[in-house]
Chains A and B, each alone.
Chain A
Amino acid sequence: MNTVVASNKDRDLAAIRSLIQKHKRWDAMFGILGIVCLMVGVLTLIALFADMISTGGQRLSWEFFTNFPSRRAGQAGILAAWVGSTLVMVVTAATAIPLGVAAGVYLEEYAPKNWVTDLIEINVTNLAGVPSIVYGLLGLGIFVYTFGLGHSILTAGLTLALLILPVVIVATREAIRAIPQMVREGAYACGATTWQTVRDHIVPYSSAGILTGVIIGLARAIGETAPLIVVGAVTFIAFLPPASGTGEPAAGVFDWLFADFTVLPIQMFNWTSRPDANFHANAAAAGLVLVLMTLAMNGLAIWLRYRMRKNIKW
């Protein structure tokens, strides 16, 4: 600016001021546009949430969480659904996190840069965009029929793990890339192997980013309906998976993995399609629980991230 002003003495101060004014106006306008865009998203969410509270809020009670589904809307609850959702998420997380993180670490730290790696990279990115029903069919073919795992919690968890694996891999890679190169160089300079570098530096430093990816993935998985219907989730179920050591004969530690199940989105879908409007209130209440579960997962992630960051000493 200075040079322009200096070289162009004809221009008086007023013209420059008006130019600055104009630019500032544009700046403010863009700011307003940004706020409007943000509000579209936030207000939609708030409206949705408010609607769910007003329709389903009064259904939220202790009984709603401890009752099984029923043909009577007033007695119907989500016990089987929330337990099912939680257990499926446990299996999904236990599968997708180690596999996804390992794959991401391999691609970033170990894989040679050649066309095979490129091909894998492109495929992983593309997989993130595959419709979830395709994963359902894959799960049905592989886990149910080939491996004979049945229409079980295990099948559902593994299927959803496949679904979110690309998300976890991509997030892991992004997080690893954000680590300065000097960290690796420092480790290697001290004689560390790649594995030692990964274990002691790369994974701990990138864990906050990885965690974000995992939560995004799990938040997507918990809302899925279609692939779970395909792999055989049921709609009416009035018993819980066997806890280990209970029942006659006593259930094994892993018996719950093979139990029949349902999940919250399926229960919601069934309730919204009922003729009786009281069930629609139940569906809204179940939706609230689902949103709160997602929020809780996000909260947990933020807390873990905060704790992990505190422990990192660069």
Chain B
Amino acid sequence: MNGFKILTIAAMVAAGFAAQGAKAQSIVKIDGSSTVFPVTEAVAEEFQKAKKGAVRVTVGVSGTGGGFKKFCRGEIDISGASRPILAKEMEECKAAGIKYIELPVAFDALTVVANPKNAFLKQITVEELKKIWEPAAQGKITKWNQVNPAWPDAPIKLFGPGADSGTFDYFTEAINGKSKASRGDFTASEDDNVLVQGVSRDVNAIGYFGYAYYAENQDKLKAVPVVEKAGKPAVLPSQDTVMKGTYQPLSRPIFIYVAVKSADRPEVKEFIEFYMKEGGALAKEVKYVPLNAADYKHSLEIFTKRRTGTAFGGVPEVGVEVAELLKREPKE
């Protein structure tokens, strides 16, 4: 039984070495939102190529909340977030002595989609979206003509992300006025591809998810132009409308949070500089909407000057302009 003996010895030696603990390595550790992941991944990939492997970057996907938990424990250098840091998370970070810099990196446009065979849905107002999705609609609004008399007497099939998703939080906040306030009787999935399949197979379906999932499936889906208020034009989500700020209220900035202590390390500093310079083009490549060039410049300045804290003060907002955000005096 030599095999067993060797394995036993190996296990014992391993346990002995375990006590040494991990060595300090020059790794840029990033975690957080799955929405920010594609952008950060692209930046990390290019950054490592540019550095010829001298700097190492890891990117995890723990979700915005999970990312902040690790961030405020000091386990990671950068946390990706699809919503601004909340008051509770600010306190956690403060208690641990973690200071951070908040940097917007791109836009995600929540896209309202319908089946391409749907002929009557030319546009939809925020008011109508609210009628469909508000908690009071549960079990009551089941036909299209209940929302708008001009629409047919056909059942309405709803598809949306699950309640753990940041997309769900933002949509409910923007449309229903309160985060997480939504009807519950819709087909929910954490996997947006399931929602894509669902809407593409049902003529009477309507759903919402991140722009990238629409952009990759334009042959199977139709985006519905959204009217923010009466009197305003119906706007389709696109690079252009999101950057100009006319696609409202469903476009949102996504962020990274950098720990100040980590920012002093040269590899983290270089990574952020790279992110602010190349992030826009890479965001576009992975089907996100980049910020305006001036905003990236402004963000880099905020980083260089180490202006710590959040521009939101722990309360998420809907429809803020990035340029305006960056002008605010951040709070900790």
Taking Cβ atoms with an 8 Å cutoff, the residues of A that contact B are 69-71, 91, 93-95, 97-99, 101, 147-152, 154, 199, 203-204, 207, 229, 232-239, 254-255, 257-258, 260, 270, 272-277, 280
Contacts and interface: CB of A to CB of B under 8 A. Distances in A.
Contacts of A69: 41, 45
A93 B22 contact: no
B276 to A, nearest CB: 18
Given A150-B22, A236-B41, A257-B18, A97 B7 contact: yes
Contact of A98 (B11, B23, B62, B196): B11
A257 B215 contact: no
B61 interface: yes
A127 to B, nearest CB: 20
User: What 6 pairs between A and B have smallest CB-CB spacing?
Assistant: A236-B59, A275-B216, A234-B60, A258-B22, A234-B58, A71-B42
Interface residues of B, number: 49
Contacts of A276: 216
A91 B13 CA distance: 12
A272 B58 contact: no
B217 interface: yes
A207 B37 contact: no
B22 A149 contact: yes
Given A236-B44, A254-B14, 13 more contacts: A69-B41, A71-B38, A93-B7, A94-B7, A95-B14, A101-B4, A149-B18, A154-B18, A199-B1, A232-B70, A238-B48, A239-B56, A275-B192
A192 to B, nearest CB: 16
B57 interface: yes
21 contacts: A71-B42, A71-B45, A71-B282, A94-B14, A95-B14, A97-B7, A151-B75, A229-B62, A232-B60, A232-B75, A234-B58, A234-B59, A236-B37, A236-B41, A237-B58, A237-B59, A238-B45, A238-B57, A257-B14, A275-B196, A275-B215
Contacts, number: 113
A233 B60 contact: yes
Contacts of A274: 38, 193
A207 to B, nearest CB: 7
B209 to A, nearest CB: 9
Nearest to A236: B59
Given A270-B61, A275-B287, A235 B22 contact: no
B21 interface: yes
* Most-contacted residue by chain B among A95, A148, A234 (CB, 10 A): A234
B185 interface: no
Contacts of A94: 7, 10-11, 14
Interface centre among A233, A237, A272 (most CB of B within 10 A): A237
Contacts of A232: 60, 70, 75
Contacts of A154: 14, 18
A273 B34 contact: yes
A99 B191 CA distance: 39
B325 to A, nearest CB: 27
Contacts of A258: 21-23
Contacts of B22: 148-150, 152, 258
Interface of B: 1, 4, 7-8, 10-11, 13-14, 17-18, 21-23, 27, 29, 31, 34, 37-38, 40-42, 44-45, 48, 53, 56-62, 70, 75, 191-193, 196, 210, 212-213, 215-217, 282, 285-287
Contacts of B191: 272-273
Contacts of B4: 97-98, 101, 203
Contacts of A70: 45
Contacts of A257: 14, 17-18
A99 B12 CA distance: 11
A69 B53 CA distance: 14
Contacts of B75: 151, 232
A209 B213 CA distance: 49
Contacts of A207: 1
A95 B11 contact: yes
A93 B6 CA distance: 12
A145 B96 CA distance: 16
Interface centre among A151, A204, A207 (most CB of B within 10 A): A151
Contacts of A98: 4, 7-8, 11
B84 to A, nearest CB: 23
A239 B14 contact: no
Give the residue among A71, A148, A233, A270 with the most B Cβ atoms within 10 A: A71
Contacts of B29: 260
Nearest to A280: B193
B254 to A, nearest CB: 15
A152 B282 CA distance: 30
Contacts of A273: 34, 191-193
Contacts of A97: 4, 7
Contact of B213 (A151, A203, A237, A275): A275
Nearest to A149: B18
Contacts of B10: 94
Given A98-B4, A272-B191, A71 B18 contact: no
A99 B4 CA distance: 11
B242 to A, nearest CB: 17
A267 B196 CA distance: 21
Nearest to A261: B58
A255 B45 contact: no
A95 B42 CA distance: 37
A257 B8 CA distance: 16
B60 A235 contact: yes
Given A71-B41, A150-B22, A260 B61 contact: no
B37 A275 contact: no
